[in-house]
Structure 1
Amino acid sequence: MNPATGTIRALLLAQARGTPMRRVPEALAVEQRGFEGDRHFQRALGHKRQLLLLDESSREALQVEVGALKENILIAGLPLDTLPPGQRLALGDTVLVELTEPCVPCWKLDALRPGLLKESWGRRGQLARVLRGGTVREGDTVRLLDINPDAPRVIRPKLP
């Protein structure tokens, strides 16, 4: 596989707070909103957390089930945690997203497994905003595009 491409392995929608993610074969991404049917869709337009993208190798290294880290898109073949804020990605034929910042693990991860918060530091994926909407499907290609030069640079927090 080309190092600048990956594959969507799973698409997931967040339901009510505290409930498992719902896996779907396809999802409708809406510009500046996220996935239709996801609980984060209702946030204010342009919010930095419209989608959470996770690298499949990170999930496997953490030995958690698909959806356990609350990811919306599980991607194989791209080292997402090495990409900078502002990195733009094409999902399938039409959807365009821009990474906003790394996802900081929260205390809830230790409820899944003691120590998971610390283990997942730097491997929890990337938050993204939808720049152009459309339908994405499991199996779609993910391509690296350009980097937004005006994207804010994020200071990565230190492990608590």
Structure 2
Amino acid sequence: MPRLIAVCAVHELRRDSGSVGVTAIDKRALEGAVRVGPFGVRGDVQASRKYHGGHDKALYAYAQEDAQFWEGELGRSLAPGWFGENLRVEGLDVNAAHIGDIWQIGDTVRVEVTEPRTPCATFARWVGAPHERGWVKRFDAERRLGPYLRVRRAGSIQAGDEITVVPAPAGAPGLLDGYRSPR
């Protein structure tokens, strides 16, 4: 059964050389039950609302299995939140999701898969460019992007909650079907 490993929110805003000047990518796991509303995890922020946040990108999910792949590739531990995700899940192939799939998380929260994450220069800087040269292209090529989610029903969730997937209607596009790298 798929389950939620961690719920993450911004730990601190960090200086960034991008156009906004700061980034909120430094997410860390929260303890206990966490409230989720229409704009995502309570207490979380997005520094660049042009590209992140809003109703259609209220949450970002990443799979533990994909994180483990990258741990092997990068030779380091990647704690929940390292990818800037709000939800670290396990037992769910998030990249095989379909647009419109509904995930029931715990007893109350329902979210809808809306689109894949598009890796950006801020993400490349966070990973440690120039040490990981070509990071965005590499991340993009592996197609382990993870989905953005819209909150359909607010509530509280916590690590350990089960996730039940209600499939999108037949014929719904897969998360990565129409994805084209911006690079």
Same fold (TM over 0.5): yes
Q: Cα distance, 1:151 vs. partner?
A: 7.4
* Selected match of 2:44 from 30, 38, 42: 38
1:74 aligns with 2:88: yes
Q: How does 1:144-159 map to 2 (within 5 A)?
A: 144-147=165-168, 155-158=178-181
Is the 1:62–1:120 contact (alpha carbons within 8 Å) kept by the matching residues of 2?
no
Residue 138 (structure 1) aligns with: 159
* Selected match of 1:57 from 54, 57, 65: 65
Residue type of the alignment partner of 1:49: K
* Selected match of 1:127 from 145, 148, 160: 148
1:57-116 CA distance string (max 9 Å, x none): 111111251222100000000000011111100001110000100111112233214133
Is the 2:106–2:157 contact (alpha carbons within 8 Å) kept by the matching residues of 1?
yes
Corresponding residue SS for 1:65? coil
Residue type of the alignment partner of 2:44: D
Is the 2:101–2:167 contact (alpha carbons within 8 Å) kept by the matching residues of 1?
yes
Superposition RMSD in Å:
2.5
Distance 1:110 1:33, change over 3 A: closer
- Bigger drift between 46-55 and 97-106 goes to 46-55
TM-score w.r.t. length of structure 1:
0.83
- Bigger drift between 12-21 and 46-55 goes to 12-21
Is the 2:36–2:42 contact (alpha carbons within 8 Å) kept by the matching residues of 1?
yes
Is the 1:90–1:142 contact (alpha carbons within 8 Å) kept by the matching residues of 2?
yes
Q: How does 1:81-96 map to 2 (within 5 A)?
A: 81-96=95-110
- Give the Cα separation in 1 of the matches to 2:8 and 2:54: 20
Structure 1 or 2, whichever has the larger Rg, is 2
Residue 99 (structure 1) aligns with: 113
Distance 1:150 1:46, change over 3 A: farther
Residue 6 (structure 2) aligns with: 10
- Give the Cα separation in 2 of the matches to 1:88 and 1:21: 24
Distance 1:153 1:7, change over 3 A: closer
Distance 1:60 1:48, change over 3 A: same
Greater strand fraction, Structure 1 or Structure 2: 1
Is the 1:69–1:124 contact (alpha carbons within 8 Å) kept by the matching residues of 2?
no
Is the 1:52–1:73 contact (alpha carbons within 8 Å) kept by the matching residues of 2?
yes
Q: Which consecutive unaligned segments of at least 5 residues does structure 1 have?
A: none
Is the 1:52–1:126 contact (alpha carbons within 8 Å) kept by the matching residues of 2?
yes
Corresponding residue SS for 2:167? strand
